[in-house]
Amino acid sequence: MAESVKIATRESFGKALCELAKTHNDIVVLDADLSAATKTDIFAREYPERFINCGIAECNMIGVAAGLAAAGKVPFAASFAMFSTGRAYEQIRNTVAYPALNVKIAGSHAGISVGEDGATHQCLEDIALMRTIPGMVILNPADHYEMLAATKAAYEYKGPVYIRLGRLAIDSFNDPDSYKFEIGKGITLHEGSDATVIATGLVVYESLKAIKALEAEGINVRLVNMHTIKPIDRDIIVKAAKETGRIITVEEHNIIGGLGEAVASVVCEECPVPVTRIGINDSYGHSGPAVKLIAEYGLDAATLADRFKSIMGK
């Protein structure tokens, strides 16, 4: 296995765009004055002629992306998740998704791991917003290698895609030599039969560390990395419900409208078993160092291990 790298998924995204642009002339990247933060500046330096800085005007940026797509380009429009999906929600709904235009929307600085900027910039609602839009694909990669593959898959997919990017540098855990990404197909990272944890994004690795710690105590928990939240992988959820009898979801997002509810819907409809949602409990974040915030909100490996045990009655 290749060495683990510690890199924020926003940076992986910027690198992936550059790599794709080498062979795909139709890629155009847009930003709204946050390119240094979303890391589209990596692309802007290499392909300035295909980079459009729209200024601090996200609604217009999404519309411009729609027009570019209608004229045959494959635009990637990036801003903080708060603004790309929040401020420009209706532009995405009516001018991108309703006409099924081939626009890729990136939301960086998603979740509380934004850190010190605090609640106004810690988007905990982006997945919920995007889930309600018919035809929208939602990708939430968990490490560097997954982000590289997801960005490529988003390019190859014809239609609107939302990609969630994180600010915090995180350790990679996927093996690039064997890793395969397919939109809509969850990945079983760890086998287990006592319960299944389904996690997405930054908290996948935290969940993995927690589950490995429990293994030493004789508790065998399955872990599914749900990198695609829409369309959700129904098969892997139903299989987990049938085989393990209990599901716990983990996400760096409001428990309302996110991965947990997407999973719970499938479980309720197809194989009812107890589902517990771990995430942000319908509240706002606040300022602080990212790693401390993750622990405060109970999303670090140590706290997750305790919560998994408690939920399982162990």
Partner 1 sequence: MDKREKAALKITANKVRQLIIEGVYSAKSGHPGGSLSAADIFTYLYFKELNVDPHNPKWSERDRFVLSKGHCCPGLYGVLALKGFFPEDELKSLRHIGAMLQGHPDMKGTPGIDMSSGSLGQGVSAACGMAMAAKLDNASYRVYVMLGDGECEEGQVWESAMFSAHHKLDNLCYIVDCNGLQIDGRVSDVAGLEPLDEKFESFGFEVIKINGHCFDQIDEAFQKARTVKDKPTVIIATTVKGKGVSYMEDQVGWHGKAPNAEQYELAMNELKEQQKALEADLAEI
What amino acid positions are annotated as catalytic residues?
58
Q: Does 55 bind partner 1 (CB under 8 A)?
A: yes
Place of tokens 């933060």: 37
From 37, 44, 68, 241, residue interacting with partner 1 (rule: CB under 8 A): 68
Task: Count other Cβ atoms within 10 Å, centred on residue 242.
Answer: 11
Q: Which of 47, 98, 157, 179 binds partner 1 (CB under 8 A)?
A: 98
Cβ neighbours of residue 85 under 8 Å, at least 6 residues apart?
92, 105, 107, 123, 125, 126, 129, 130, 162
75 lies in the binding site for partner 1 (CB under 8 A): yes
| 95 lies in the site for partner 1, by CB under 8 A | yes
Q: In angstroms, how far is CA 169 from the centroid of its own chain? A: 14
Q: Which of 50, 89, 53, 47 lies closest to 73, judged by CA?
A: 50
Question: Rule CB under 8 A: which of 99-128 touch partner 1?
Answer: 99-100
Query: 263-280 burial string, b = 16+ CB within 10 Å, else e?
Result: bbebbeeebebebbbbbb
129 binds partner 1 (CB under 8 A): no
Cα separation, 132 vs 179, in Å, equals 30
Q: What is the nearest approach in angstroms of partner 1 to the Cβ of residue 239?
A: 36
Nearer to partner 1, 60 or 303 (CB): 60
Tell me the window of 16-24, 65-73, 211-219, 238-246 that interacts with partner 1 (CB under 8 A).
Answer: 65-73
Which of 20, 21, 28, 232 binds partner 1 (CB under 8 A)? It is 28
If phi > 0 it is left, if psi is from -120 to 50 it is alpha, else beta; for residue 48 that is alpha
Using CB under 8 A, pick the residue from 79, 91, 196, 276 that binds partner 1. 91
Instruction: Please identify, among the stretches 92-100, 153-161, 254-262, 295-303, the one whose residues bind partner 1 according to the rule CB under 8 A.
Output: 92-100
Sole binder of partner 1 in the list 63, 166, 192, 260 (CB under 8 A): 63
Q: How far apart are CA 234 and CA 262, in angstroms?
A: 10
Q: Does 160 bind partner 1 (CB under 8 A)?
A: no
Residue 71 touches partner 1, criterion: CB under 8 A: yes
Q: How far apart are CA 235 and CA 224, in angstroms?
A: 12
Provide the CB-side half-sphere exposure for 186 (13 A, CA): 29
Query: Binding residues for partner 1, per CB under 8 A?
Result: 28, 49-50, 52, 54-55, 57, 59-73, 75, 90-91, 94-95, 98-100
